[in-house]
Chain A
């Protein structure tokens, strides 16, 4: 066949594919048209920011990646399975072209539709930019950025299409496989952050040095390779394996022995995967060496208000705690007010390294290994949480994830009030006052817990919350915390409103306005501010990487390396404070704001006035592309630390602007 004839054949094939995919591209076209009409005519957004127009400038573009991934997979599913199901593929195979060119033409048409979809998005953005009257947008917009975004989006769509072509071979099971793979990837990433590179959505993770985006080149290279492999396997499966696969499926349906063997193999594979997962996760979460050699048998102990479960080895500690617990319950109930009654279950087998205790509904998990005073404080704090939950008949939205501030604030204030520990309370309040001044933390910021913890130390949420509840009690009465919790659980809460609006709504309903409490809260903090200057303030600066081993880390007082340390992060640390010191200092490093607490690396050092100390923190290779750190100092060991905010570092060796 001559080249022109071949070309005509491919054009005819492409036209046929376009007709076949008409529902898809017509739908996409309609979506763009609707978006265009809405965003430019009916409900024009007059003040779009650059972050809305350019995903490369936005650190969280995961939703765009999910949409493209699903769209590309749908496109892939529209290319081959239907043709095979209806048998029309046989007509195509009678054409005088190689089968693989039929497959490649189909994939090319799919990729072209996805490219046009991305191009339409780019054009919509360009229209917004051209119509924008904002000088910042005019300044940042460039053809190079638009082209870079379009190229990356199209490359991602192509990668997803290749994965989709492979998955589509397995028909409906492919969707299940995709869902399972995504769930497994998320789970694996939570186990080891390095594995997050396997998730295709990580391709849209963009770090920045200044305003310059830095693309994850390793991830792109990896997925580019995997996509090429997927495409090759998919082509082989669809062109060669389809008939063999059909025969195998038929034999499965009829042949008993084959069926048994298949199921046996699958069962062994699944059992192995599950067993390995259990073992790995079990090992990873066995955080406390304390329990390695102790009797793991469980026992139960009941008091009037509690049911304790504990390891037999901890019986003495559990009994000591149980002796004091009912008194704690009675005092807390009296303080909170309201007709609360109900037994609290306390599980004393918690090995967490991050919190002394946790509470959900009326169940507490606590680490019994702490000191007696710490245990008592923890049971006090968690009992307040539990009784608060009883008071509002569950966990209302206001006290849920968005309202964690309220829950912790009440528990912290109650803990100080009931434990009558004025020194600890004062130190906590001084830290709150210093943080309010240095970080200008507005009340609104406390209500968005995730954003707050991305920027600040968790203790500040407790310390500032404690002052807030003190202001609430002083302004609205001693029973105000209890009434506030009940108010959040009452029907009619504007659930879609901003947290601050919800607070205003609830407090207004209680007859205790938000603003007078806020004014009181600020007064308390302002009064404490002069004394807060006595607190030591630690500062650190990232110097660079160094090779190191576990012995070095031990010498530096760092936490165990757990076999995955391949380098050390070196910092220069100093402390400003009244007196000669030395002050205990804690330096913490995390990969990103949503890094689980137990994956945060930390180093303890002691630093005197005027000293500049080099401190090292163990790091895995995942931190090579950038990390966050914060440093805190305390007046003395055991006192709460005042931390700097989380600072982001994009190491110089990788901060070459891309693309």
Chain B
């Protein structure tokens, strides 16, 4: 007993400064946590502050104290004096353990008492007992772990970091959740302040078992080779050891970053029996009235996809699922998910179905499948026009004699209208995403498709198939090969696949469009668009700072739409699904002025566009597309 008292007195004498300093710092930590919790509007209980206090502040304090009680003693080799005393070898170690535990326990108890004193909720004895058991078991576990770490001397920090990395990795890459385990569950801020009746025995048991294991390990380690290993480890690291450990850490980080995530979501499945199945295609129509539409669409999709797979030489086709979505604008499709293994899920409005709508859906499906198959290489700007054009070209192929352009083909008209705003040439193909702003998705798709159409008319179906297979046949790898493939210029790709000169083809394509724009009956149909003018006007006064002024010789009642989208402070391709659209009917007369609906503050950026539905065009014709900064 006297020996114990002497040992406690020695620890107290050695660590009094640390205890006081840690107490003062913990007081600041408590005040900060209390203030921050009160400041936020979500403070539910003063015991939330206790849980926060038991986190980093108490862990830091325990590490500081552990350093003083264990590491400093070993580093100074003063433990040799203790070993020389006529007491049991483990006695001094037990006293050290108990001393630290008492200090930590006292801090935790004070925090709990302070929390209870400040509480505005009922604090019945059972509740305090639950809190006490949780906090007590946590403190025991925490101190045991810190004590064990202290035995590893200079290795304690790398080991602690390693343990943290392992816990994070296990939490992320497996179904095991760190916050539901032992000490972490005990001070979990979502349950600690609120569980009033049940003691989480499982977490308590896990924590105490962990603590017992750590204590036993510490005792055993301290006696290993008569304590010489512990003593040797207490030396500080040299630069080489630091460098070696850093490299080891890097290797661990790299290995973990390449691990796959364990819990994957289930593949998409319909949960309704209102589904049409055709080969790889499933269409969920949800409404019995739409069954026949879904069946027709499924037939078309299956036929086209079979043709595409044969043409591109793919080994397999992932599942294609089309979902009826009333919120999707007529003629548009929203991509819900797209994965080269799990397949494509496309949302579209089946109730608004027509031939043109069906073509748009087929286009979107091919677009999504090719994009996923090539791991998005086909979406890179220099290739994107190829993908857009091929997808529409394939969708149009089933129609009666679309090529060569002999009549007033609506999609060909779209291409001619787009070519008026953005002439086909190297600039259009290189800056395709920017051209998209000016002509819209419909115009850009049609213009791109016209290239494939011209190629087919000049070099035959074989050239189309060869180019498509060269561009989209190979599956993406997500690695260096994709990068290499993406660097290959379109000119070389074209020359290799088709055997023709690229520049000559672009000239021919451009000439075809230019010729048709000046030929009857196209010229008359395009006259209104070629004479149209539209501009954005930015105003400093009034609540709506953006207006569009347009002149167009269109019949009254033509449906037009003002699109807008708030932009970030940098430029990139637009997500057209995120456009906010406001329809209006073109009034009698040639000019119109529309205020853009959206609310924008000074310095904000917006994309604004004006599209009109005109005959004989298949899509909406874009009159204006511009990115503006609000003054």
A residues engaging B (CB < 8 A)? 20, 22-23, 26-27, 30-31, 34, 40-44, 46-47, 49-51, 54, 57-59, 85, 131, 133-136, 139-140, 176, 179-180, 183-184, 186-187, 190-191, 207-213, 252, 259, 263, 266-267, 270-271, 273-274, 277-278, 280-282, 284-285, 298, 300, 307, 309, 342-343, 345, 347, 349, 352, 354-355, 358-363, 365, 394-395, 400, 438-440, 442, 491-497, 501-502, 504-505, 507-509, 511-513, 515-516, 518-519, 522-523, 525-526, 539-542, 572-574, 596-598, 626, 628-630, 644-645, 647-652, 655
Contact = CB atoms under 8 A, between A and B. Distances in A.
Contacts of A50: 570-572
Contacts of A187: 32, 35-36, 39
Contacts of A649: 601-603
Contact of A647 (B35, B36, B193, B604): B604
B537 interface: no
Contacts of A30: 247, 250
A598 B40 CA distance: 8
Contacts of A648: 601, 603-604
B573 A277 contact: no
Interface of B: 17, 20-21, 24-25, 27-32, 34-36, 38-42, 44-45, 60, 64, 120-122, 172, 175, 177, 190-191, 193-197, 236, 239-240, 242-243, 246-247, 250, 254, 261, 263-266, 268-272, 284, 286, 323-327, 336-337, 347, 376-377, 379-382, 430-434, 478-480, 482-483, 486-487, 541-545, 568-573, 578-581, 597-605, 629
B263 A211 contact: no
B268 A504 contact: yes
B337 A501 contact: yes
A210 B629 contact: yes
Contacts of A507: 271
Contact of A596 (B40, B195, B323): B40
A209 B629 contact: yes
A607 B591 CA distance: 33
Residue from B239, B270, B486 having most chain A Cβ neighbours under 10 A = B239
A281 to B, nearest CB: 4
Residue from B20, B32, B254, B272 having most chain A Cβ neighbours under 10 A = B32
A44 B479 contact: yes
Contacts of A281: 34-35, 38-39
B261 A496 contact: yes
A213 B569 CA distance: 8
A138 to B, nearest CB: 9
A361 B239 CA distance: 50
B325 A626 contact: no
Given A278-B31, A504-B268, A541-B545, A515 B347 contact: yes
A358 B42 contact: yes
A652 B45 CA distance: 44
Contacts of B568: 51, 57, 59
Nearest to B250: A30
Nearest to B565: A440
A361 B200 CA distance: 15
Given A136-B572, A281-B38, A596-B40, A43 B265 contact: no
A39 to B, nearest CB: 10
A501 B263 CA distance: 12
B44 A46 contact: no
Given A133-B381, A541-B543, A361 B32 contact: no
B120 A309 contact: yes
A541 B21 CA distance: 54
Contacts, number: 308
Contacts of A266: 20-21, 24
A266 B599 CA distance: 54
B265 A502 contact: yes
A597 B41 contact: yes
B376 A31 contact: no
Contact of B573 (A41, A136, A282, A307): A136
28 contacts: A47-B379, A51-B570, A131-B487, A134-B381, A135-B381, A176-B64, A179-B60, A187-B32, A191-B35, A191-B39, A210-B605, A270-B27, A274-B30, A277-B34, A278-B35, A358-B41, A363-B45, A394-B190, A394-B191, A440-B578, A440-B580, A507-B271, A509-B266, A513-B272, A519-B326, A645-B599, A647-B600, A647-B604
B379 to A, nearest CB: 7
A361 B28 contact: no
Contacts of A442: 327
A184 B569 CA distance: 32
A371 B85 CA distance: 74
B601 A516 contact: no
- Cβ-closest 8 pairs across A and B: A210-B629, A539-B543, A361-B194, A650-B603, A208-B569, A647-B601, A522-B327, A513-B271
Contacts of B240: 23
A26 B40 contact: no
Contacts of A180: 25, 28-29
Contacts of A26: 243
A574 B542 CA distance: 9
B566 to A, nearest CB: 8
Contacts of A508: 266, 268-269, 271
A140 B571 contact: yes
Nearest to B287: A519
A180 B172 CA distance: 29
A515 B284 contact: yes
Contacts of B30: 274
A575 B540 CA distance: 19
Contacts of A207: 603
B41 A515 contact: no
B190 A210 contact: no
Given A539-B599, A644-B599, A360 B21 contact: no
B265 A494 contact: yes
B200 to A, nearest CB: 11
Given A266-B21, A360-B190, A523-B326, A47 B120 contact: no
B35 A492 contact: no
Residue from A26, A277, A626 having most chain B Cβ neighbours under 10 A = A277
Contact of B569 (A57, A263, A285, A519): A57
A263 B270 CA distance: 70
A23 B247 CA distance: 10
A416 B461 CA distance: 62
A504 B265 contact: yes
A532 B585 CA distance: 20
A34 B38 contact: no
Given A508-B269, A519-B325, A596-B39, 4 more contacts: A30-B247, A44-B483, A209-B603, A496-B261
Contact of B38 (A282, A523, A597): A282
B605 A650 contact: no
Contacts of B194: 360-363
Contacts of B190: 360-361, 394-395, 400
A247 B27 CA distance: 28
B603 A59 contact: no
A190 B39 contact: yes
A17 to B, nearest CB: 13
B603 A285 contact: no
A489 B272 CA distance: 24
B195 A277 contact: no
Nearest to A26: B243
Nearest to B42: A358
A523 B34 CA distance: 47
Residue from B36, B240, B264 having most chain A Cβ neighbours under 10 A = B36
Contact of B264 (A282, A491, A494): A494
A209 to B, nearest CB: 4
B569 A307 contact: no
A47 B376 contact: yes
A49 B570 contact: yes
Residue from A22, A57, A133, A358 having most chain B Cβ neighbours under 10 A = A133
Contact of A190 (B36, B347, B376, B600): B36
Nearest to B482: A46
B570 A519 contact: no
